[in-house]
Structure 1
Amino acid sequence: MQIISTTPFGQRPVSADLIENQMLATRESDVAHFDKWELFRELCVARLSYGLSDRDMAVLNALLSFHQGRNLSDNDNLVVFPSNKALSERAHGMAESTLRRHLAALTGAGVILRHDSPNGKRYAAKDASGEVIRAFGFNLRPLLVRASEITDRARETRAAAETYRRLRDECSVMLRDAIKLAEYGASERPKHDWESIQATAQEYAKALRRKLPFELLSDLRKKLRLLCDTVGQLLGMDAQIKTKEMSGSDADNERHYQNSNKDSYDFEPSLEKEKGAGVDDGIETLEEYRELGAEQIDQSPKMPLPLVLKTCGEIQNYAKDGVNNWYDFVATAHFVRSMMGISSDAWGKAQIAMGVENAAIVLACMLEKITEIHSPGGYLRALTQKAEDGAFSPGPMVMALLNGGDKNVA
């Protein structure tokens, strides 16, 4: 097919972009064929990098529908010549003035080219066999020539969108942590200025409701991390002694780990001895758990289960069907305690002294540091004694883990 038109009809001037796009249309394509609708979808993804709107893409969709065949091929006639009326109908009744504006945008972006006839009409001249020998209209060849470029840009756009999504998710999680931990801190550590922290978190929440540019979202992430670190430090100030207890140092735990006296509480009794101890082996059924929980309602945990699971995730590896509620959590802890070498005697006393859920929280914290605790049973008995004296709460232990190592709020 012969193409003889290179300049626009009427008062539209020749520009450097027009000449560059004309040269692009004559360039050899990297691919001989490409599915036009797949290419259209890729361009939809990358359209902003070409300065195109969704309405521009609607017009391009209509233009592609006038091309016969599924593929754009280098050896085919890639010029379509619909009238404004026909094009408007396929563009869902778009007004002709609006249609012209979007066609100009597509041309300016270099994804189509105009081939105007002497009178500006769009038509094709055919030979006796019906083959098109000359056509005036819109040339779709730039799409085929730029197919590799379009797919590359679409891939980059998807990658950027995924990076943005992950960044926004991270900000959302940190904001949630800051708000909920501040609520916990306000009830557990009222001496600190939690009101200002909560007000700052609310300001960040308002900002996160908007579609922030990537740079501003990155800046918000830094601010949220600083806020979370501040909250963690405030919550960890009263937990320093618990951090020492969980450190696993021989010097700090000499009484537990170095005592060779087998009668010490640091070493668990044999199974034969504990059979006659007469101490309840913790909960066995949901009914027992509910009954015990009702009796010890004042000892129920003051922290949300998601926070505990975020900090002590190791215990979830032992859950049969996942940890979805406190009952699942306690039941899993009951299963794990025997694997840790903790006797039913120590476990039952811990549940009575601390409360069922709180004892499970303590065990989950111990599981995180199990390689550093030489005698889990003795360690639990020591904490149980403190709980009986009213000098122990599992909250600081959780916060100490949350503030250390890989368990930082992020």
Structure 2
Amino acid sequence: MEYTPVTPFRRTIDAAILKHQAATQEDLPPAGANKWEVLRELAAARVAFGLSDRDLTVLQALVSFHQATILGGNDSELIVHPSNKAICERLNGMPCSTMRRHLSNLVQTGFVVRRDSPNGKRYARRYGDEKVAFGFDLSPLVRRFQEVCEAAETVRAAEERYKRLRATVSLMRRDLAGLAEYGRSLRPDQGVWDQFSDLAALMARDLRRKLEMEDLRRIEDALGSALDHARGLLDGCETENMSTNDAVSEQHYQNSNKDSYDLEPRLEKARDGGAVRETPEVANSPLCSEDEGNSTATIDDQLMPNIPLGLVLASCQEFKAYSEQPVRHWHDLVRVADVVRPMMGISPSAWDEAKRYMGPEEASVVIVAMLERFADIRSPGGYLRTLSSKAAIGEFSCGPMIMALMRRDAA
């Protein structure tokens, strides 16, 4: 047909329809587009184009009247001409008025273009080798396929960011509730723990609703500030406890408890090269013989664990079955680790290496944490050596292991 009409039959025309009609004069992409892929991408990006799921249902019915899977390409005949009755039948009996309303939205958004005949009927006729069809033009689906794909990727990326932020906020809320409960048992005189518990409960209630991205960011900021405050209070409590222990140790130099690492001579460690150097005071100390000094140099104190002992005891429960006495100090935990270690199949050399690079206290935390997940660890000795090698170059901390156990218990 030499002339292409732009006005619909007995319907008003506006700027949007004229714009979409003009776009159909452009050449189709030579590769065409898979009609089912177009529908799938458009379903993901439908909100960005102002379409509803019912609009897409009507569009799917229209597309199904085109026999080929690929729209465009070698086939330039993209006009389908079903009657209203045929369309409603493929829509499982949708009322004709409802179908027309959704069809009108598809025309307004430019994904379907009307090609109305002089009398408004939809049909196709052949005049020799030329075919003339009046109905619905599906060519915009091919021309706008790239635009639809880009919009769908943008929507999927936004949904992924939303899911990740919501998961992060949920974990932060759970951690705040756990730290508040632990802090209440450690320092019941601090009223701030009740505030943290109330905040966690309020955030749990908010997370039951469908929140906007800005709401989640606001909750993340509030929980982040509360968590920093809670961690600061807990670190301060542990520092105060450790200072008290040190003061007691200074007044009891003659204590005969040889298992206490607080009473043994201190060594100064040199990280570079992994060597350990004794200070002159240790070398000349009457408390340490030559053999004892050499053995102690490999296992004595390094940096204390960066988490409170109470947090370790609250997260790890399995070791208590092997402890005859309650664990109240770090050296008590070291004694328990010495007992549990051979039962786990960890060799003395691996244990000595862990104490040398981590320090006895942190190595003991690793042992009791491994005991919690013992069924999941194939080779405890090899796993401990791997962690020791990371500790040797300053790339290991036992804090994440304990926090992971706390999250598991709270789940």
Where on the TM-score scale, by shorter chain, does this alignment land: which range?
Answer: 0.5 to 0.7
**Which structure exhibits the higher relative contact order, with contacts defined as CA atoms closer than 8 Å and separated by 6 or more residues?**
1
One-letter amino acid matched to 1:199: D
| Aligned counterparts of 2:389 and 2:168: Cα–Cα separation in 1 | 24
| Aligned counterparts of 1:255 and 1:297: Cα–Cα separation in 2 | 27
Question: How far 1:5 sits from its partner (Å)?
Answer: 2.5
Cα gap change, 1:239/1:107 in structure 2, threshold over 3 Å: closer, same or farther? same
Tell me if the contact between 1:59 and 1:99 (Cα under 8 Å) persists in the aligned partners: yes
Identity of aligned residues (%): 35
Tell me if the contact between 2:318 and 2:368 (Cα under 8 Å) persists in the aligned partners: no
- The equivalent of 1:158 in structure 2 is 156
2:101 matches 1:101: yes
- The equivalent of 2:5 in structure 1 is 5
- The equivalent of 1:88 in structure 2 is 88
2:279 to 240, 249, 259: 259
- 5 Å-filtered alignment, 1:178-327, equals 178-193=176-191, 194-240=193-239, 255-257=266-268, 258-260=278-280, 261=282, 263=288, 268=295, 293=321, 296=324, 298-299=326-327
Tell me if the contact between 2:29 and 2:72 (Cα under 8 Å) persists in the aligned partners: no
One-letter amino acid matched to 2:267: H
Question: How far 1:331 sits from its partner (Å)?
Answer: 4.0
- The equivalent of 1:72 in structure 2 is 71
- SS at 2:133 equivalent: strand
- Computed over aligned residues only, the root mean square deviation of the Cα atoms, in angstroms, reads 4.2
- SS at 2:267 equivalent: helix
Instruction: Report Cα offsets for 1:117-153 as digits up to 9, x if no partner.
Output: 2332221122356x6x221111111111111111111
Tell me if the contact between 1:106 and 1:112 (Cα under 8 Å) persists in the aligned partners: yes
- SS at 2:279 equivalent: coil
| Aligned counterparts of 1:333 and 1:19: Cα–Cα separation in 2 | 79
- The equivalent of 1:337 in structure 2 is 351
| Aligned counterparts of 1:182 and 1:369: Cα–Cα separation in 2 | 32
Tell me if the contact between 1:31 and 1:145 (Cα under 8 Å) persists in the aligned partners: no
- The equivalent of 1:113 in structure 2 is 113
Question: How far 1:341 sits from its partner (Å)?
Answer: 4.8
- SS at 1:157 equivalent: helix
| Aligned counterparts of 2:54 and 2:210: Cα–Cα separation in 1 | 21
One-letter amino acid matched to 2:295: E
- SS at 1:340 equivalent: helix
Question: How far 1:98 sits from its partner (Å)?
Answer: 1.0
Question: How far 1:18 sits from its partner (Å)?
Answer: 0.7
- The equivalent of 1:141 in structure 2 is 139
Cα gap change, 1:368/1:84 in structure 2, threshold over 3 Å: closer, same or farther? farther
Cα gap change, 1:255/1:299 in structure 2, threshold over 3 Å: closer, same or farther? closer
- SS at 1:268 equivalent: helix
Tell me if the contact between 1:3 and 1:135 (Cα under 8 Å) persists in the aligned partners: no
Tell me if the contact between 1:204 and 1:220 (Cα under 8 Å) persists in the aligned partners: yes
In the alignment, structure 2 segments of 5+ residues that lack a partner are 246-263, 269-277, 299-316, 330-339, 373-383, 404-411
Question: How far 1:44 sits from its partner (Å)?
Answer: 1.0
2:368 to 340, 346, 357: 357
Question: How far 1:334 sits from its partner (Å)?
Answer: 7.5
| Aligned counterparts of 2:126 and 2:370: Cα–Cα separation in 1 | 88
One-letter amino acid matched to 2:183: G
One-letter amino acid matched to 1:177: D
TM-score relative to the length of structure 1 = 0.66
- SS at 2:24 equivalent: helix
| Aligned counterparts of 1:266 and 1:65: Cα–Cα separation in 2 | 86
Cα gap change, 1:128/1:369 in structure 2, threshold over 3 Å: closer, same or farther? closer
Question: How far 1:368 sits from its partner (Å)?
Answer: 10
Question: How far 1:233 sits from its partner (Å)?
Answer: 1.6
| Aligned counterparts of 2:150 and 2:319: Cα–Cα separation in 1 | 62
Tell me if the contact between 2:78 and 2:138 (Cα under 8 Å) persists in the aligned partners: yes
Cα gap change, 1:243/1:229 in structure 2, threshold over 3 Å: closer, same or farther? farther
| Aligned counterparts of 1:220 and 1:332: Cα–Cα separation in 2 | 46
- The equivalent of 2:42 in structure 1 is 43
Tell me if the contact between 2:318 and 2:371 (Cα under 8 Å) persists in the aligned partners: no
One-letter amino acid matched to 1:268: S
One-letter amino acid matched to 2:57: A
- SS at 2:124 equivalent: strand
| Aligned counterparts of 1:27 and 1:53: Cα–Cα separation in 2 | 27
Question: How far 1:255 sits from its partner (Å)?
Answer: 3.0
- The equivalent of 1:319 in structure 2 is none
Q: How many residues are aligned here?
A: 318
- SS at 1:63 equivalent: helix
Question: How far 1:77 sits from its partner (Å)?
Answer: 0.6
One-letter amino acid matched to 2:17: L
| Aligned counterparts of 2:162 and 2:182: Cα–Cα separation in 1 | 30
TM-score relative to the length of structure 2 = 0.65
| Aligned counterparts of 1:368 and 1:232: Cα–Cα separation in 2 | 28
| Aligned counterparts of 1:186 and 1:220: Cα–Cα separation in 2 | 23
| Aligned counterparts of 1:332 and 1:138: Cα–Cα separation in 2 | 75
Tell me if the contact between 1:112 and 1:140 (Cα under 8 Å) persists in the aligned partners: yes
| Aligned counterparts of 2:346 and 2:201: Cα–Cα separation in 1 | 36
Cα gap change, 1:80/1:372 in structure 2, threshold over 3 Å: closer, same or farther? closer
